[in-house]
Chains A and B, each alone.
Chain A
């Protein structure tokens, strides 16, 4: 309701929520959160229908309704959709909506990038959907093992489309990781130290850190895969470890992914247990410590998925140990949740039931996981329904809590209560259906995975499972009906419908106002208050709610937020930092007239345009080896659209001021833009690290010294090193010039950078040309493949850098980027460019000398 009011005021520059246009241009985190939730539920239905299709096929022990190839597509698409396009985006819908509210931020640090994440996600999902119509989607399982993932074995265009769709999805995840990390580290309300974050925010913080690194490794794997499929490199079909290389890269991502999927669910369980038991969590610090430990350790267990491969016994032992190690912190978390119920005042609301159910399911999933940790048992369980049952108990168990979260925040998001009775019906159908579906799989565990023909003796168990699947699905019909009906008929709620909810999202109206808070949130003296920065020393009215006032305010819509109140404490707190309050906060935290001139608009079409261009480009790329002109044409059109959109995004004025006062550990003194760039570079380090790691791995498998270095002599490489080093130096000069406000110096230095960069590419072009002439092409050997792909991706980074530099030159000519403030963009560009330089410093010896 408040949103509409704002819109009429032209306050946020956005059309009302009832207009389609709003959803296309919005950058507000709450809108984006809703978009994520709705889209992910659509993919739940998509993946769910595929699952039911499989359950129908598995009704009998022989192949009946689905053709063999189609079954493989179904099982692969189901896995990929559920894991990538449903479960994480669903959790990130909540994260988008709730985290800024919980930490006291007005929005994410980079709202347009947030919208971009969403559009990239949506279009990656659509691209995945499109793959079904291009000769059939990818059919090699969600693990995409090599070399089955090679075009020789999975030849359809759709297979390639699916791989590219995943790449696009990774792009979305990376953008959103950078955004969330910057936000969560730099925009916490005063007094809300990292350790004090609400548990849901904690789990998201850790999830995002894991995502940043894990998805970078996946990106490396997908880039190589796409290159093998499109360009014709031969990494994964190389008999020298190609197959194992995929397994390493994939599981290096895949294991952290398990926790990426599960952590947000854990956070919701923690929130719901606390709220509905009316108890603060037991052993909070240990709970957090356990999660941090798991998040770190998740990168050191991946080879437990490879116990049956040719890896050595020593490494198996090592990874068995780390695997037990990682299971222990979970014990602690489970017990912490259980003990939180003691002395509670437990209300069996739908969100609590789902959280409680999730914990039960997770316990079963965890116990059966210990079985898999015992290597000897794992040898037998690998590739059977034991694994299928186990990971569904863990992951869908986690999803259970996410559905709890949907009910928990439904009143916050819509301002209306869901129907409690229907909610309970959903829970019963869900819990019964779930166990009927997955428990029989433990009993019939000897059924091999991903088959549609199995031993007759298991038929009854599989039929039970299929029935369970349909019961579960029926539960979702109830849920969708409930959500839809309550949108109109639900009882209206005030700020906080739940007794004992404590985090900040409940202290504002439902749905929250556009800028989230009636003032700058602060925990400065131990409780949430909203500070009202005054102008000219006068104390402005506003929702200053302290302690119980906050409760009252939230509980009574009439007095909510616009209740005039002056609070002595606030005034003093105010006076303590008048400078900041006036200079910066005024336009961030406060809806006042001046602010509107600063950033009149929260609307941008460009994120959508970029998403669409990416879709067109990738669709074109996936069939570019076909004999039709259509695919190359699509690629070209997409690229042009993309260039246009990026320039549009770059030229749009969209100023997001930083919070005046905030907790910023551990990145005090690094402004948002710079931190975002560094975090992005950290993921790029893992990307290039994984690519170089792949090279090292294949070379070790091949025999390190038996390897042939592709370029004949290191001199062209050395010249390129000189060129790139010099271009780095000129970027340094550009920054100095920008700070000195010398447009000429800036343009000249950037121009020199471009010149050296072009020289680098030209030199490389000559070198490649010669190699091609001699018959050394991307696919002629693994040596050649690693050389061309790794240095080629580096060259792509150079090209992107050059395009940015050209754009900056054009802007600089108009007088941009001068002074301390203005030069920041030059600095960020420099960080990127120097990074590209550093990568080359390693590629040069590895690919030219050694």
Chain B
């Protein structure tokens, strides 16, 4: 089986993308970049370690097989029935290997820890444009986005190249909000808020979805994420206000946005995911 399109996602994807994608023109380090880099290093080292260890195991299992002759040479003492359990020597080799593996693990994780602070906090104001703060609320089974001006929307419309800071919570059960293409994810917990951020380097339409089982509609709990150029975003945003919120239910504002700008990017009416098509079976206590 070759690497034809259906197989193009996943691991292969990461590696290919890493080779092709040299980061945006801008200098903000996005969560996407960080993830890609760390994942790649882990994959390479992890695979190498795995291959070496399993190969060594298999080699030994083969070399010391019964009847190979290797076993009978020398004066190896073998376990006997009824003896008190004890061990063989070889502690030194054990510790050397242990030592190396520990170094690999600790340094790998230590290295990622160095980025964790940045990953949590996001770029500082000085580094970038002012961040756009959006509140995200999960509900069975959809997402609602509230902008600083009070406008609420069921599609997440954001400007390109500007940090987006999300404050996430839930109206009912535990959900997890994630936009896989932007490598952003955080839990949506009733009564709690979590924060995360991302920067989209490219315009386009993406999908946000839920990553924690939340009921029968979990598989369908998606929302569109539309990244537009900053100027387009301003056009759109300046014409929104809290007053318009009533219409949010029928996804209208977004389709509108699309027609305002390049239809190819944002105009596509959101993928017809039956957001509310599946009602929870019964909610009678």
A and B held together in a complex: yes
B192 touches A310 (CB 8 A): yes
Contacting residues, chain A, for B210 (C-beta < 8 A): 448
Which A492-530 residues sit within 8 Å CB-CB of chain B?
A: 496, 500-504, 506-507, 523, 526-529
User: Contacts A238-B191, A243-B192, A545-B82 hold; do A370 and B71 have CB atoms under 8 A apart?
Assistant: no
Docked-complex contact B10 and A443, CB < 8 angstroms: yes
Q: How far is the CA of A199 from the CA of B84 in the complex (A)?
A: 11
B interface residues, Cβ below 8 angstroms from A: 1, 5-12, 34-35, 38-39, 42, 46, 49-50, 53-54, 56-57, 60-61, 64-66, 70-72, 74, 76-91, 93-94, 97-98, 101-102, 105-106, 108-109, 112-113, 115-117, 119-120, 140, 172-174, 176, 178, 180, 183, 185-187, 189-194, 209-220, 278, 280-285
12 A-B pairs whose Cβ atoms sit less than 8 Å apart in the complex: A136-B281, A155-B285, A279-B76, A335-B94, A339-B97, A342-B64, A344-B64, A344-B71, A363-B50, A370-B42, A371-B39, A444-B9
- Given that A147-B173, A148-B213, A279-B88 are contacting pairs, would A243 and B80 also be in contact in the complex, using a CB cutoff of 8 Å? no
- Pick from B34, B53, B209, B215: contact of A448, CB below 8 A: B209
Q: How far is the CA of A1 from the CA of B133 in the complex (A)?
A: 77
Measured between beta carbons, the chain A residues less than 8 angstroms from B80 are: 500, 502, 547-548, 551
A379 at the interface (CB under 8 A from B): yes
Interface residues of A (CB under 8 A from B): 63, 68-69, 71-72, 75, 136, 139-141, 145-148, 151-153, 155, 191-192, 196-199, 238-244, 274-275, 277-287, 308-310, 313, 316-317, 320, 324, 327-328, 331-332, 334-336, 338-348, 356, 359-360, 363-364, 367-368, 370-371, 373-377, 379-380, 382-384, 442-446, 448-453, 455-461, 496, 500-504, 506-507, 523, 526-529, 545-548, 550-551, 554
| Bound Cα distance A527, B84 (Å) | 6
Bound complex: CA A373 to CA B212 (Å): 19
A520 nearest CB across to chain B (Å): 14
Given contacts A192-B84, A528-B81, A528-B83, 14 further A-B contacts (CB under 8 A): A282-B93, A344-B71, A345-B64, A346-B71, A347-B66, A379-B186, A383-B211, A443-B7, A448-B211, A448-B219, A449-B211, A450-B213, A460-B1, A528-B82
Report yes or no: B187 in contact with A309, Cβ–Cβ below 8 A: yes
Number of A-B contacts (CB under 8 A): 331
Which residue of chain A has the shortest Cβ distance to B72 in the bound complex? A345
Measured between beta carbons, the chain B residues less than 8 angstroms from A153 are 140, 172-173, 215, 280, 283
Contact B90–A308 (Cβ < 8 Å): no
Are A239 and B194 interface neighbours, CB within 8 A? Answer: no
Q: Which residues of B contact A281 (CB under 8 A)?
A: 87-88
Question: Are A280 and B88 interface neighbours, CB within 8 A?
Answer: yes
Which A residues are in CB contact (< 8 Å) with B12? 443
Residues of A within 8 A of B82 (CB): 502, 504, 507, 527-529, 545-547, 550-551
A283 near B94 (CB under 8 angstroms)? yes
CB-CB nearest in chain B for A457: B9
- Residues of chain B within 8 A of A310, CB atoms compared: 187, 189, 192-194
> B109 touching A320 by the CB < 8 A rule?
yes
Among all A-B residue pairs, the 10 with the closest Cβ atoms? A284-B87, A383-B211, A239-B191, A345-B71, A528-B82, A502-B79, A451-B219, A282-B90, A374-B112, A331-B101
Instruction: Report the Cα distance A501→B78, complex, angstroms.
Output: 10
Whole-angstrom distance from the CB of B192 to the nearest CB of chain A? 4
Question: Is the beta-carbon distance between A527 and B174 smaller than 8 angstroms?
Answer: no
CB distance B174 to A145 under 8 Å? yes
A339 with B93: CB separation less than 8 A: yes
Across the interface, which residues of B come within 8 angstroms of A244, CB to CB? 189, 192
- Given the complex of chains A and B, what is the CA–CA distance between A379 and B119 in angstroms? 10
* Least CB distance, B104 to chain A, in whole angstroms: 9
Given the interface contacts A377-B112, A458-B9, does A523 sit within 8 Å of B64 by beta carbon?
A: no
Separation of A72 and B65 alpha carbons in the complex (Å)? 47
Asked whether, in the complex, the Cβ of A343 is within 8 Å of the Cβ of B172, the reply is no
A760 to chain B, nearest CB (A): 34
Q: Is B46 touching A309 in the complex (CB atoms < 8 A)?
A: no
CB < 8 Å neighbour of A343 from B34, B49, B71, B81: B71
Q: A238: which B residues are within 8 A, CB to CB?
A: 191
In the complex, what's the smallest C-beta–C-beta distance from B196 to chain A, in angstroms? 8
Interfacial chain A residues near B86, Cβ < 8 Å: 196, 280, 284
